[in-house]
Amino acid sequence: MNELQTDGSIGDIIEFNEENSSENVTSKPRTPIAFEANMVAPPTEKTQRKRDFNSQFQEEKFRLIRAQRRFYEQENVRAQEKHLEEMETLSAKRELLYLEIAEKKRKLKDSPSE
């Protein structure tokens, strides 16, 4: 992801001081590598934390989406169960009305006509 890209030679990016001569290399610390303008800088701790935050954010976002999906799936199941109960109730009411109509018809036939 973070590859170094150079147009020139690598020797141009190392800076030496007089103190880094071959005699003093062991006693003095080395000078850090200076990056050219056309090179991509290595990831810093801040950018690494930002990437970690972004990946954690994405993970939490996916967890939320999965939780919402499960919730709505359960909501659909509950709605279907409620619908079936309502249909059973309506069917029972219709059956009761048919029985009441049949009873009233029977009473009309059995009553003495004038």
3-35 per-position pLDDT tens digit: 445 455 454 445 544 445 454 445 555 555 555
Residues 33 and 64 occupy one common structural domain = no
User: Whole-prediction pTM value?
Assistant: 0.44
Q: In whole angstroms, give the CA distance from residue 110 to residue 93.
A: 26
Residues 70 and 108 occupy one common structural domain = yes
Residues 60 and 37 occupy one common structural domain = no
Whether residue 2 contacts residue 43, with contact meaning beta carbons closer than 8 Å, is answered with yes
Tell me the CB-side half-sphere exposure of residue 63, using CA atoms within 13 A: 6
Residues 13 and 24 occupy one common structural domain = yes
Residues 52 and 88 occupy one common structural domain = yes
Which pLDDT band holds residue 51 (cuts at 50, 70, 90)?
Answer: confident
In the chain, the number of structural domains is: 2
Residues 13 and 48 occupy one common structural domain = no
Kindly state the helix (H) or strand (E) to which residue 86 belongs, with its residue range. Answer: helix 45-110
Residues 64 and 113 occupy one common structural domain = yes
Domain that holds residue 98: 44-114
Residues 28 and 61 occupy one common structural domain = no
83-101 per-position pLDDT tens digit: 999 999 999 999 999 999 9
Residues 4 and 30 occupy one common structural domain = yes
Q: Which of 27, 42, 57 is the last residue in one of the domains?
A: 42
